[in-house]
Amino acid sequence: MHVRLVKTFTFEAAHWLPTFPDGHKCRRMHGHSFKVDVIVEGDAPESDGYLMDYGDIKQAIAPVERELDHHLLNEIEGLENPTSEMIARWIYDRLRPALPLLSEIIVYETCTSRCHYCG
């Protein structure tokens, strides 16, 4: 059976968006309570009844979450321009080696704004 598993994590961080025009509110430093969905996808063997252990996904996420939580994103290598799009790709690139079944990252910057990245 083909399935998609979703494991969610959150982090608090500050950033500013250096490519936005002068005077734009996002050009100033501000913070968000980010939410991230990590999605793995594949065929779960009928004999096992599951694709992978959620605990393994959580373990893969932990170092990424620590690197982002309560940091200024602009100071993290690769996130000098920390838009939702860039954050999603950055997370995907770091998780992919540990999660070969990774299919998508969704970054929620606010309750109503999110970015989907599929690698």
| Tens of pLDDT, residues 56-81 | 999 999 999 999 999 999 999 999 99
Residue ranges covered by each domain of the chain: 2-117
Q: 26, 65, 71, 104: which one is catalytic?
A: 26
pLDDT the model gives residue 101? 98
Q: 24, 30, 70, 116: which one is catalytic?
A: 70
Q: Do 57 and 69 form a contact (C-beta atoms < 8 A)?
A: no
Identify the architecture of domain 2-117 in CATH: 2-Layer Sandwich (3.30)
| Tens of pLDDT, residues 4-44 | 999 999 999 999 999 999 999 999 999 999 999 999 999 99
Residue among 85, 69, 80 nearest 12 (CA): 69
pLDDT the model gives residue 64? 98
pTM, rounded to two decimals: 0.96
Residue among 88, 103, 98, 94 nearest 41 (CA): 103
